Structure 1
Amino acid sequence: MNFDEILSLIGGFGKFQKILYVWISLPQIFLAFHMLVSVFTGAIPPHLCRSAWPSADSPTPSGYNFSLLLSPDGRPELSCMAKFNHSAALDANHSRHPGSCQGGWEYSQETYYSTVVTEWDLVCDKARLNIIGSSIYMFGLLVGAVAFGALADTYGRRPIILFSLTIQAVFGVGAAFAPNYYIYILLRFVVGMSISGVIMNVFVLGTEWTGSKQRMLAAVITDFFFGFGYIMLAGVAYLIRDWRKLQLAISAPSFIFVCYFWLLPKSARWLMANDRNEEAWKLIRKAARVNGKPLQEDLELCQGCNNKEERRKHTVIDLVRTPNMRKQSLILFYLWFINVLVYYGLSLNISDFGMNIYLTQMIFGLVEMPARTITLFTLNRSRRFSQLAFLAVAGIACLLTVFIPNDLSTIRTVLAMVGKFGVSASLSIVYIFSAEIFPTVVRQTGIGMCSMCARVGGVLAPIIYLLRPVSEQAPMVLFGLGTIVGSALTVFLPETANMRLPDTIEDVERSDPRSK
């Protein structure tokens, strides 16, 4: 009797699992806050160098229209040209060498009261520091994926989740009191590490407690909560327009997760795979009682649950040591990379589409809901085709934006929304798909490596917009082509819909490893 058969006896998605999913879904709201808050805390309002006026001590005239400093597509680039000549602010065709501003900067407060950009003057010749800061945060997610993936396979899912939630709360609050930009990005780097620890392990913990038929529904539930956080952030940021207060508002509530030390269960599947049967059976009997399906004593001998391969220590090398495992792992690594690159490439640069930033944030969040919902109707039929189709939708939509002029901001935003819809659905699927393809003995290591590749995409997502001086369309072209390549590679992955989870690498290498 393997663990999936045990779950079928005690209930694959009973009361025990539903309570578990409440606990692992709530942190997703705050994960969305931290992942996307830089859209607002790192926003660049229209600005003008004070030395552009007749006297460096002269205040900016009241009622000055800062919108005159915006380029036609809504970005405040003309302010850099207008540092030393006020008339340049009025003439979109005027161009001056963007030297350093000696008189200090004046910022419009029409949309933001304070951002990290306005506090530390990260504009014009310092603008790249803002992009680098976003990439360093994403690099934190990469480091966390590598570290916490391996640690979770060694010490279990629960301890790493609890540790990561604690770090997220402490360093998130600390970032709100950062004395300078460098301390701020260091604290954000640690927050990024902790978020990887939470994202990977709550997903795997839920998957390992859920039966094969309900696994897809359960995984999408957590995605909905991330989408709620996405939408809620637009409202929170609209009400709190000071970046320090906003950072504090999204971080301090995380201290409520201290109660998880008493509420969050361990993974019985992981315990069995690591030959800790006594602990596993205590949890299984508890889950059976909560689900109203208590086990009989004569069923408490699990033949074949822990064979020799499962007891052997596995490493990341096992992901590429054998042919099938290697092929599947490399494709999944790329899928995670391109999904996250495009997802955050679109999400973190919503100001590029020329509409109100709060409205665009809310719309992009709302798009997540139908994207997650539609996967409920496609995944049970085919994981592989669903992944392929949604990646293709995202790729085509991104490529079509290349042909839309900047002044047609509504059409560009709609196409970006379609691209966001496709990549959001694809991102939901790739989590489920990967957890079903990797066997139990290396599942967390595999998810950790996938997450590491995803975070490489996250690191590149802000940096890729540095290509705009070379070509305005370069980012969207790369997003479109990358997702279409991913769509084609999906053909070479196995179908996993309604199949049992593989437990060993031998299961993956067999000709029909997913037989029911």
Structure 2
Amino acid sequence: MLHSSLATEVVTMVEFGDLIRAVGEFGLYQKLVVLWISLPMLLNILQIVSQEFMVVDVPHYCNTDWIRAVGPNLTEEEQLNLTLPRDANGDYEQCIMYSPVEWDLDSIVAYGLNATEKCSNGWVYPTAQPPSLLTEFDLVCDRKDLSDVSQSIYMVGLLIGAIICGPLSDRIGRRPVLLISIYGHCLFSLAIAFLPNFTLYIIFRCIMATAASGILITTVPLATEWVGVSYRPIAVVVSQCCFAVALMILAGLSYGIRNWRLLEIAGSAPMFALFFYYWVLPESARWLVTKGKIEEAKKYLKKAASINKRTIPPELLDQLKGETQTKSGSILDLLRKKHLLRMTLIMMCAWFMDSLVYYGLSLNVTGFGLDIYLTQLAFGAVELPGRLSCIYLLQWFGRKKVQAVLLLLAGLMCLITVGIPEDQAVAITILAVIGKFASCASFSTSYIYAAELFPTVIRQSGMGLCSMAARVAGIIAPLILILQDIHSAIPMAVFGGASVLGGLLCFLLPETRGVELPDDTVTDKQQNISKL
């Protein structure tokens, strides 16, 4: 009886693959689906790294207007000479001032000031420039680490989104979760541009990140569940090429728009154009079948066939009946069943290492010694071939080898930079760009690989767990960058070592190249995969 049940579930999977082939494995309808999921991802990535261009370091020094009470006619240069100490290079100290005294001006000029203290009345930014996060909220000196802390809290939002949106998408569907995430991202990203203080800025970015996470992890299953076996890498990679395009757009936007509020508006306002998604975004027909919503699945399949100018044989549609639906699954299946548990733990580790090295490089755009806008442009430009190459690499070498080798390459590039002298900015940047190439390609591979490994009934839950691991790494990455204050080599050594470890673990994963998506959590399908 158990054998008969398993056989029925395998037939269901094969029948749905036949339906996709009848509809068209990558026709106009699927291309439109890829387009619909690509646009929010393009606008989404702008928010993840845009803060790096809002806190670019500028000259600053302590506000010493206290001396104006006794010397109102002092020139600016005279005021600075009397109230600010100089460093070893003869420049004014940026974070220290002479302690205020209750002397008259003649005494201050005659005897000078000796006692120093940290800036107690804010900072002055002498060069004329549009407001940035750094200048408006004084993210300098003892407050400079607040920028990295803000990025970590943003990653906490991504983690919360992964926890919520993964299981929710398996329960109520891909479409409603994606729509809610898009609309939530619209509202909170635009609201950020009008916030009066840095605390509210951090809170709103955390909420926005929760919505952003819903977009990131919902789009991939929606793409893979609508296309044929051989087109899965194309569907996912093409949509993720928007990351590269977004990074290059960000380099131009941030170069031309130095006012952080206007930059925030420019990066978020276009998201409002996606409100029409309510009428055009489809649900995953494969997910509908696993939930027993056969008639609704047929409606989407017929629409897809019509747009692709194909005809579905009536006998195939007739096989989609209630008794052929697969049993439901839960996130606990990933923990209870050994083959799923091992796969999940290794995949979570791969995502963790991917995220750590990817964000470690992306958020350190100011740390390689060259112009940050050119570095950002190079980082964006290298992502295009990095992600597009996955289409061919995954077809030629399979998922397992590509995932492992790319992580190893990214890690080695980071480790090599540790031994390069700091004054060799060009060499360090070139190695970082190669590392970025490997890390973004590895990240794209992770999305495809995870979507193929996890069964349909818990695909979003599984990818949610992987995304959680990635978001934990995203939280840690900005904090690791703070360690460069101890030694500049520490962050890159950590990123490199972790990535190499992740690459080695990936050799333990099963291969999924050319295998139909699993729909249920029984072991037969996974055992077939592992034999390939």
TM-score of the superposed pair, with normalisation by structure 2: 0.87
Show the 5 A alignment for 1:332-481: 332-381=347-396, 382-481=398-497
Q: Which residue of 1 aligns with 2:303?
A: 286
| Separation in structure 2 between the aligned mates of residue 51 and residue 19 of structure 1, nearest angstrom | 60
CA deviations on 1:449-493 (whole Å, 9 max, x unpaired) are 111111001111111122223322111111111111111011111
Report the secondary structure of 2:378's partner residue. Answer: helix
How far did 1:306 drift? 6.1
**Which one-letter code corresponds to 2:124 in the other structure?**
E
Which of 22, 26, 30 matches 1:13? 26
Change (3 A) 1:507 1:416: same
CA contact (8 A) 2:61 2:95 kept: no
Task: Give the distance between the partners of 2:116 and 2:298, measured in 1 at CA.
Answer: 68
| Cα drift, residue 54 of structure 1 | 7.2
Residue among 126, 136, 140 paired with 1:123: 140
Counterpart CA distance in 2 for 1:390 and 1:267 is 30
- Is contact 2:233–2:391 with CA below 8 Å preserved after alignment? yes
| 2:237 pairs with one of 209, 220, 226 | 220
CA pair 102-31 structure 1, distance change in 2 beyond 3 A: same
**Which one of 193, 198, 217 corresponds to residue 215 of structure 2?**
198
**Shift of the alpha carbon at 1:107?**
2.4
Q: Does structure 1 conserve the Cα–Cα contact (< 8 Å) formed by 2:511 and 2:529? A: no
Of the structure 1 ranges 151-160 and 502-511, higher mean CA displacement relative to structure 2 is found in 502-511
> What amino acid is the match of 1:212?
V
For 2:380, what is the secondary structure of its paired residue?
Answer: helix
Give me the whole-angstrom Cα distance separating, in 1, the residues matched to 2:117 and 2:270.
43
Contact 1:394 1:420 in 2 (8 A): yes
Matched to 1:477, the amino acid is: A
SS of corresponding position for 1:329: helix
Q: Is the 8 A contact 1:398 1:476 kept in 2?
A: yes
Query: Partner amino acid for 2:32?
Result: I
CA distance in 1, matches of 2:176, 2:217: 13
Deviations 1:238-266 (A, max 9, x none): 11100011111111111111000011011
The 1:474–1:306 alpha-carbon spacing in structure 2 relative to 1, beyond 3 Å, is farther
Cα deviation, 1:59-102, whole Å, max 9, x if unaligned, reads 7559x9xxxx9999xxxx995455449xxxxxxxxxx9995313
Alignment-derived partner of residue 31 in structure 1: 44
Q: How does 1:184-195 map to 2 (within 5 A)?
A: 184-195=201-212
Give the CA deviation at 1:55: 5.7
Is this contact kept in 2: 1:324–1:509, CA < 8 A? no
Letter in 2 for 1:33: L
Distance 2:92 2:364 in 1: 19
Contact 2:25 2:231 in 1 (8 A): yes
* 8 Å CA contact 1:81, 1:97 repeated in 2: no
| Deviation sequence 1:342-381 (CA, Å, 0-9, x none) | 1111101111111111111111111101111221221112
Q: In the alignment, residue 163 of structure 1 is paired with which amino acid? A: I
State the alpha-carbon separation in 1 of the partners of residues 474 and 115 from structure 2: 32
Give the counterpart letter for 1:252 in structure 2.
A
- The structure-2 alpha-carbon separation of the partners of 1:372 and 1:281, relative to structure 1 and needing over 3 Å to count, comes to same
1:376 and 1:79 mapped to 2: Cα distance?
52
Percent identity of paired positions between Structure 1 and Structure 2: 37
Given that residues 500 and 515 in structure 1 are in contact (C-alpha distance below 8 angstroms), is that contact kept between their aligned partners in structure 2? no
Structure-1 separation of matches of 2:355 and 2:266: 26
Where do 5+ consecutive residues of structure 2 fail to align?
1-13, 81-85, 100-113
Q: Is the 8 A contact 2:327 2:520 kept in 1?
A: no
Q: Any idea what SS the aligned residue of 2:440 has?
A: helix
Secondary structure at the counterpart of residue 209 of structure 1:
coil
**What are the Cα deviations for residues 285-324 of structure 1, in whole angstroms up to 9, with x where unaligned?**
111111111113222123688657x333x32221121111
Name the CA distance, whole Å, in 2 between partners of 1:59 and 1:306.
87
Q: CA deviation at 1:43?
A: 2.9
Label 1:279 to 1:121 Cα distance change in 2 as closer, same or farther (>3 A): same
Distance 1:109 1:163, change over 3 A: farther
Aligned residue identity for 2:232: R
1:89 aligned partner? none
Is 1:257 equivalent to 2:277 in the alignment? no
| Aligned amino acid, residue 315 of structure 1 | S
Q: Secondary structure at the match of 2:139?
A: coil
Partner SS, residue 512 of structure 1: helix
- Contact 2:290–2:456 (8 Å) recurs in 1: yes
* SS at 1:141 equivalent: helix
Bigger CA radius of gyration: 2
Q: Name the CA distance, whole Å, in 1 between partners of 2:432 and 2:163.
A: 31
User: Which residue of 2 is the match for residue 88 of structure 1?
Assistant: none
Change (3 A) 1:268 1:71: farther
TM-score under structure 1 length normalisation: 0.90
**1:323 is the counterpart of 2:338:** yes
Q: Distance in 2 between matches of 1:416 and 1:515?
A: 37
2:417 is aligned with what amino acid?
A: T
Alignment of 1:172-191 (within 5 A): 172-191=189-208
CA displacement at 1:53 relative to structure 2? 11
**One-letter code of the match for 1:275?**
G
Q: 8 Å contact 1:100–1:125 — kept in the other structure?
A: no
Which stretch has the larger CA shift, 114-123 or 475-484? 114-123
Tell me which moved more, 147-156 or 36-45: 36-45
**Partner of residue 122, structure 2:** 104
Contact between 2:19 and 2:312, CA under 8 Å: does it hold in 1?
no
